[in-house]
Structure 1
Amino acid sequence: MPAEYLQLHSFSKEWNVRGAQAASALTLAAMSLGYGVVQLDVTIVNTALDAMGKSLGGGVAELQWVVSAYTIAFAAFILTAGALGDRIGAKRIFMAGFALFTAASLACALSPHAIMLIGARLVQGLAAAILVPNSLALLNHTYTDDRARGRAVAVWAAGASLALTAGPFVGGALITLVGWRAIFLVNLPIGLAGLWLSWRYAVETTRARSREIDLPGQFAAIGALGALAGAIIEGGELGWQHSLVLSAFAAAAVLATLFVWRESRTSQPMLPLSLFSHRLFTLTTVVGLLVNIAIYGLIFVLSLYFQRINGLSAWWTGLAFVPMMGAVLPVNLLAPRLAERIGPCPTIVVGACISALGCLGLVWIEAGTSYWAIFAQMIAISGGLGLLVPPLTSTLLGSVEKARSGIAAGVLNATRQTGSVLGVALFGSLVGGEGAFMQGLHLALVISAAVLLLAAATIGIGARTRGRTM
């Protein structure tokens, strides 16, 4: 065989390998944009809470609904979105979610009153529910090696961390220079870039046409989560003994029971209860719920603390959050390497304990406390979160067969967003009363520390009882 032919064949093979690597990297970029734009709205909206309240009217309860409408829809629809990706193809569903998120962002920017803004935020949450599990499913499809997948997930999480970091700074600048409506317009170019990269480089997943959509279960999930969030939010305004609040709690309990009953009976459940027979799947799901109750509830109340108690502008509030969010990015990149050394479950335990210590270090905070006096504690809270999320996500995906990666990713993110809903609702109700903000903030910090330590104990003890290193 001529040497020229062998050289040409070798060059062609190397070119194909490099092309495949580039396509994988650009697919990862598209998935990171999808997750990033979802997380961007967390910090941008929290920075704009005071500006939106003054512009549209309303108190803490209305602001809780602006935040919670997004997370309720996110949590309630994410399981169905994962199932749709399994049935129709993750790429198709991911692109549809990106288009819907972009359109809903425009509707948020144009909202003339709080009701329309809350409705547009619901649609945004639905689109976010579509984006996150299908981005993970596409990553799982693209990166088949465990180590490569772990590092890709770390980059995916780091992209979201970058969005979280940029959110306060960009949001504060936009609110100061243009107004709060501009914070939603920034999603438009991100959406267009993500759509193009996905269309051009992502490879469609295998379609499971036998996968059905569980509409009764979906409606029960929406009702249960919405009723529970409403009861907690309005309990802070109306009082916990109010008939509407008690009725909402009762409705949430009944609907949650119906949801579990439905999922145990149907042949194609939106939440296959059999997944929880995997110990690691169950442990990581519970930890995801607990961590988000603590972290995202605190982000909400700290945003109000900076603006309403310490009188900071949106610009300075944004700057106050930049170091906290910025700490997540480098720790996200460190997490998979630490997990390779000591194991993913011990890494999760360390991250949760660091965040808990940060919460306890803030318990003495008062009105007018210097920012630099709480700086290290805020870094600890976010750094612990950055350390635990990549191994948490990768461990959960690795605990189930690849054919169910979409629904597994959906369950993790549904429970995490449910935690966000409960955290914002609970902590918001604690600080919503007249003259009770600081007392409520102190209690929220104690609760957060306890919940994070419970998460560490759950994964630490649960993993150890398996009798092998995780």
Structure 2
Amino acid sequence: MIGLVSTAVRQPAQDGGRPGWTLIVTSIGFVVVQLDITVANVALPEIATEFGASTSGLQWIIDAYSLAFATLLLTAGVAGDRFGSRRIFLAGLVVFGVASLACGLAPSTSILIAARIAQGIGGALILPTSLALIAHACGNDEAARIRMISWWSASGALAVAAGPMIGGFIISGLGWRPIFLINLPLCALGIWWTRTKIAESATYVDGRFDVAGLITAALALFMLTGTVIEAGARGWADPWVLAGFAAAAVVGIAFFKIEAITAKPMLPLGLFRLPGFSTAAFVGTVISLTFFGLVFVLSLYFQQVRGYSPAMAGLAFLPLTAVIMLANIVGGQLGARVGFWPPMAGGMLIAAAGNGLLSFHRLDSAAPFLTIALGLFLISIGTGVAAPAMMSAALAKVERTRSGTASAVLTTARQVGGAVGIALFGAFVAGGTQNIPSGGTLVFIVSAVLLLLGAGGAWLGR
């Protein structure tokens, strides 16, 4: 098959990566990636007002980022393993910073969506390589890796928690554009410290990019997410929607067949035979699908049904976001003490209970906020405890020289889940504000069922 061959061979740096600085720098990368997810959700009503965007257009502002992100994660992970995770991480920070500037200056919905695609490309270069840099810095010290991943996860959770509040207050005072510009100093700081504090990771020879796999993966993901988004407007039984799902399935099957016969696949199928890897990827998909889909729906609910300002909507997210950071740290400590699987299964059961509680209350203007807050608090605790254990389980049996690829597979599964969750749950509430209460109930029921399946899969796959 056609491939791009790497002829450069590099030796690993002797300094194992200075774990403290590695954690700081990779956390900055994770923060900018996560910050734009929640901040952009809060900004959606303001963007719709300025540009006259439809619900489908608003979903594409979110999904364009997620789709580009998910499409290139595998390629970025392989590139990190073969050319150096530090180098690819740096490139990601540069691309993300430039794209954030373009988002802040966008004159139309289409330009904003294009800039969000560029942000997704930058994020794809950042995320798997940040996890790979952590794996390299910790070496074979599994306890240290769990602790660093829990703190890394907590930094992303802090961005999730702060995003709605920061975004809400910035939007209320300055409009939606500055919410993208705040990434610029963070990216600049990350670039400087990466260049001066972080050593390059180990690489290996004979790097061949799987172009056929990249193209078919991108097409399958594009078809799947785009079809789910359009299903909200056209209806699930529309012939074009059904054809879109069929085409996504055909291309997806072709992708896996290509990976099975390719000598240097972008997705090494042998990873899924490692103990716990497939289970961790499934759990990560479920967590992202339910969490980010819920954030999208709640952004519309708080502002369009309850009439909250962007700042108030940001504060209303606190029960969901404020304790995630602490829950991530607790989940990491539990994983180090009792193993990966109890926090994963137990956390998803708690999150399922939160969604189950919310399913008994319609998302209308009369819904008691204290009940909503309790449900969101349970979801936050559950997903926060499960996430670091899930990531640690995925990397536990992977060779260090393949940590970038393994991280990319895991983050791809999570991003696909997030993109499909936003598209699917957005379709549930599409058609006007009057559809949010009934669609919200369906969101909670579907989330609870998926989380219960995830908990069962985590326990059985241990």
- Relative to the length of structure 2, the TM-score reads 0.94
Equivalent residues of 1:165, 1:323 under 8 A apart: no
Report the alpha carbon displacement of residue 411 of structure 1 after superposing the two structures with TM. 0.3
State the match for 1:140 in structure 2: 135
**Separation in 1, partners of 2:181, 2:240:** 37
**Separation in 2, partners of 1:30, 1:365:** 42
State the match for 1:257 in structure 2: 253
Higher radius of gyration, 1 or 2 = 1
State the match for 2:362 in structure 1: 365
Selected match of 2:390 from 389, 392, 403: 392
Which sits farther off after the overlay, 349-358 or 330-339? 330-339
**Separation in 1, partners of 2:53, 2:241:** 19
Residue 312 (structure 2) pairs with residue 313 (structure 1): no
**Separation in 2, partners of 1:22, 1:238:** 51
The gaps in structure 2 that reach 5 residues or longer are 1-14
- Residues 22/400 of structure 1: CA separation in 2 closer, same or farther (3 Å cut): closer
Report the alpha carbon displacement of residue 341 of structure 1 after superposing the two structures with TM. 3.0
State the match for 1:179 in structure 2: 175
% identical aligned pairs: 40
When the two structures are aligned, how many residues end up with a matched partner?
A: 444
Report the alpha carbon displacement of residue 241 of structure 1 after superposing the two structures with TM. 2.9
State the match for 1:9 in structure 2: none
Equivalent residues of 2:100, 2:181 under 8 A apart: yes
State the match for 1:291 in structure 2: 287
State the match for 1:197 in structure 2: 193
Report the alpha carbon displacement of residue 65 of structure 1 after superposing the two structures with TM. 0.6
Report the alpha carbon displacement of residue 99 of structure 1 after superposing the two structures with TM. 0.5
Equivalent residues of 1:88, 1:209 under 8 A apart: no
Residue 442 (structure 2) pairs with residue 446 (structure 1): no
State the match for 2:418 in structure 1: 420
Report the alpha carbon displacement of residue 21 of structure 1 after superposing the two structures with TM. 10
Equivalent residues of 1:165, 1:326 under 8 A apart: yes
Selected match of 2:351 from 315, 335, 355: 355
- Residues 22/134 of structure 1: CA separation in 2 closer, same or farther (3 Å cut): closer
**Separation in 1, partners of 2:100, 2:294:** 25
Residue 156 (structure 2) pairs with residue 157 (structure 1): no
State the match for 1:70 in structure 2: 65
**Separation in 2, partners of 1:134, 1:421:** 21
State the match for 1:10 in structure 2: none
Report the alpha carbon displacement of residue 130 of structure 1 after superposing the two structures with TM. 0.7
Report the alpha carbon displacement of residue 319 of structure 1 after superposing the two structures with TM. 1.0
Report the alpha carbon displacement of residue 167 of structure 1 after superposing the two structures with TM. 0.6
Deviation string, structure 1 residues 134-174 (Cα, Å, up to 9, x no partner): 00111111112111111011111111111111111110111
Counterpart residue identity of residue 280, structure 1: G
State the match for 1:467 in structure 2: none
Which sits farther off after the overlay, 442-451 or 161-170? 161-170
Residue 273 (structure 2) pairs with residue 271 (structure 1): no
Counterpart residue identity of residue 410, structure 1: A
- Residues 132/345 of structure 1: CA separation in 2 closer, same or farther (3 Å cut): same
Selected match of 1:61 from 53, 56, 66: 56
Report the alpha carbon displacement of residue 22 of structure 1 after superposing the two structures with TM. 10
Equivalent residues of 2:16, 2:137 under 8 A apart: no
- Residues 167/309 of structure 1: CA separation in 2 closer, same or farther (3 Å cut): same
Report the alpha carbon displacement of residue 370 of structure 1 after superposing the two structures with TM. 3.2
**Separation in 2, partners of 1:88, 1:454:** 38
Report the alpha carbon displacement of residue 48 of structure 1 after superposing the two structures with TM. 0.7
Superposition CA RMSD, Å? 1.3
Report the alpha carbon displacement of residue 392 of structure 1 after superposing the two structures with TM. 0.7
Equivalent residues of 1:224, 1:255 under 8 A apart: yes
Selected match of 1:337 from 324, 333, 339: 333
Equivalent residues of 1:98, 1:191 under 8 A apart: yes
Counterpart residue identity of residue 52, structure 2: G
Runs of 4 or more, structure 1, over 4 Å off, are none
Counterpart residue identity of residue 459, structure 1: A
Equivalent residues of 1:32, 1:156 under 8 A apart: yes
Which sits farther off after the overlay, 314-323 or 34-43? 314-323
Counterpart residue identity of residue 132, structure 1: L
Equivalent residues of 2:203, 2:401 under 8 A apart: no
Report the alpha carbon displacement of residue 253 of structure 1 after superposing the two structures with TM. 1.2
Give the SS at the match of 2:317.
helix
Give the SS at the match of 1:436.
helix
Report the alpha carbon displacement of residue 399 of structure 1 after superposing the two structures with TM. 2.0
**Separation in 1, partners of 2:152, 2:249:** 36
**Separation in 2, partners of 1:341, 1:205:** 29
Equivalent residues of 2:171, 2:310 under 8 A apart: yes
Equivalent residues of 1:168, 1:319 under 8 A apart: yes
State the match for 2:436 in structure 1: 437
Residue 222 (structure 2) pairs with residue 231 (structure 1): no
- Residues 54/130 of structure 1: CA separation in 2 closer, same or farther (3 Å cut): same
Counterpart residue identity of residue 70, structure 1: Y
**Separation in 2, partners of 1:396, 1:366:** 36
State the match for 1:213 in structure 2: 209
Which sits farther off after the overlay, 91-100 or 400-409? 400-409
Report the alpha carbon displacement of residue 277 of structure 1 after superposing the two structures with TM. 1.2
Residue 114 (structure 2) pairs with residue 119 (structure 1): yes
Which sits farther off after the overlay, 140-149 or 371-380? 371-380
Equivalent residues of 1:139, 1:152 under 8 A apart: yes
Counterpart residue identity of residue 228, structure 2: I
Counterpart residue identity of residue 26, structure 1: W
